[in-house]
Structure 1
Amino acid sequence: MSRAAFPATVLLAGLLLGGCGSIFGSDKAELVNNDPPNVIYGQAEKMVDEGDFEKAARQYEQVDINHPYSQEARRSIVMAAYAYYKAGKYDEAVSAADRYLTLHPGTQESDLAQNIIAMSYYERVLDPKRDQTFARRSLAAYDKLLQRYPNSRYAAEAANRARILRDLIAASEMQVGRYYLHRDNYLAAINRFRTVVSEYQTTAQVEEALMRLTEAYMALGIVNEAQTAAAVLGHNFPDSKWYKHAYGLLGKRGLEPQEHEGSWITQTWKGNGQA
């Protein structure tokens, strides 16, 4: 080898060892880990115990990358999702958990993967005045967990959080509905209150929603729907302050609550198994 060629060879070797991401066009490229899968997995577990969750997640991924057919590979995927969740890397956690459910549906850790997805969205839920995209995604994920894994150890917490999320989403719908109502945009307001009555009947928001429907329909002169909303409210929540208000609104026009069979409110309420 000539002296002129030697420095270039050394430089190339240095790039391969110290900057392989750049030479292959990707900063994320990593050297192959030739350790046995149980060793890599054990290293990741130690990182979890030490609270180094993001590093642990990447280490778990190394098991699947380098030993995809090993016994540890399957569980390493869901453990990577868990470690990403603990690290606050929620998008990465959802991605890893989704991958697990796609590759290994119905296996032992499936409920854990589904729970990680739900929790990752739940951690980003905001107050009722803000956009509820994450709340809806979390609710959908928890509902799926309860449907597919009713006996899961995560089911009790999932059911409790699903109730919280339903009330939060319903409260958000009410917030927007009141906004439209106060600006005399009655049709837009009705659409929001209708969502609460149709989809969130078990929440604390439904009483006010029925009263606001009475108010909005009266403003539009759609008496039958206003009477029905008040009647359903009175039948199911006779002691509610909202029923007293709805009853008073009708009384000012010489009307009383009366349920009409053709009303969407009657059909929706009965269709959802309500009295």
Structure 2
Amino acid sequence: MVAAMSLSIAACAGRNRPRLAYEERPVELLYNTGFERLQSRRWTDAVDYFQEVERQHPYSEWSRRAILMQVYAHYQAGDYTDAIAAADRFIQLFPGSPSAAYAFYMKAVCNFEQIVDVGRDQAYSQAALAGLRDVIRRYPTSSYATDARVKIDMVNDQLAGKEMTIGRWYQRRSQPLAAIGRYKTVIDDAAFQRTSHTPEALYRLTEVYLGLGLKDEATRNAAVLGFNYPGSPWYAEAYALLNEQGVKPETEPTGKRESWLRRIIPG
């Protein structure tokens, strides 16, 4: 009773408190108390108990479970750095465990959750992409791999969006060659070709090439856009743009032109 009370008092002391004072206790008590804190969404308190399991009973089955619980608790608390550290510790200590798949997956997800908007550095996107690919490589038939494939598509869309943002920036500042390089990355990179940004990239190339007086290049990119995305408003824009230049593409657009698209980049 006294031991349980001392644990409870220590658990309420706050996030920056020292860890629980060492006192040998039944592993079931420590683990179950941590699990109860987890169910109550008291993530930091739960971590304390699971760390104590790990400290008092290292290399045991209880310890293996406790480290994974720490990963989950840190993740739920938004402490992604600590969650990744716990996952790394599990992988180092128990690389052959079937539960290592979860540790690898959670490392990737923690980076995925920290992806920021396309206007900022995409380091987390790159880290998430590497981690998700690692999950698929190591555990291709697992449910983690299934989810990783979905998330990879989302990350690629994010990274392609970053390329488009930079390309538009160059285009607005009358640096067409730099803009072309970014747009072509979206079109030529196999990982980006299936993203939502490909139609716009083809339209932007049409637009930039026309601005450079390269009608053949502009027509070629518009033809690719029309063949693959005839119903896209981006193709309707490209079709109208070429008509203004006296060029009539073979493929008629099946979608409607949306004039607001032309205002994304002034001029």
TM-score, shorter chain, exceeding 0.5: yes
Residue 116 in 1 paired to residue 116 in 2?
no
Q: Which amino acid letter does the alignment assign opposite residue 211 of structure 1?
A: Y
Offset at residue 113 of structure 1 (A): 1.4
Greater shift, 52-61 or 114-123, is seen at: 114-123
Are residues 32 and 257 of structure 1, via their aligned partners in 2, closer, same or farther at CA, if it must alter by over 3 Å? farther
**Pairing 1:1-275 to 2, within 5 Å after superposition:** 31-197=21-187, 198=189, 199-220=191-212, 225-250=217-242
Aligned partner of 1:100: which letter? Answer: F
TM-superposed CA distance for 1:37, in Å, is 3.4
> Are the equivalent residues in 1 in contact too, given 2:20–2:48 (CA < 8 A)?
no
Mapped to 1, the partners of 2:96 and 2:225 lie a distance apart of 43
Between the two proteins, what is the percent identity of the paired residues? 38
Quote the Cα distance in structure 1 between the aligned partners of 2:167 and 2:241: 18
| Structure 1: 5+ residue stretches without partners | 1-26, 259-275
> Secondary structure of 1:239's partner?
coil
Q: So what's the TM-score if we normalise by structure 1?
A: 0.71
Q: Is the 8 A contact 2:101 2:139 kept in 1?
A: yes
Amino acid of the structure 2 residue aligned with 1:135: S
Q: Does structure 2 retain, via aligned residues, the 8 Å contact 1:37–1:70?
A: no
Distance 1:117 1:89 in 2: 12
Spell out, residue by residue over 1:11-69, the C-alpha distance to the aligned partner (whole angstroms, 9 max, x if none): xxxxxxxxxxxxxxxx8576434224343222221221222111212321222233222
Structure with greater Cα Rg: 1
Tell me: CA distance 1:176–1:65, structure 2 relative to 1, closer, same or farther (3 Å).
same
Structure 2 residue runs of 5 or longer lacking an equivalent are: 1-16, 251-267
The answer to which of 216-225 and 124-133 deviates more is 216-225
Distance 1:62 1:222, change over 3 A: farther
1:270 alignment partner in structure 2:
none
Number of equivalenced pairs:
232
Which residue of structure 1 aligns with residue 255 of structure 2?
A: none
TM-score by length of 2: 0.73
- Structure 1 counterpart of 2:100, which letter? S
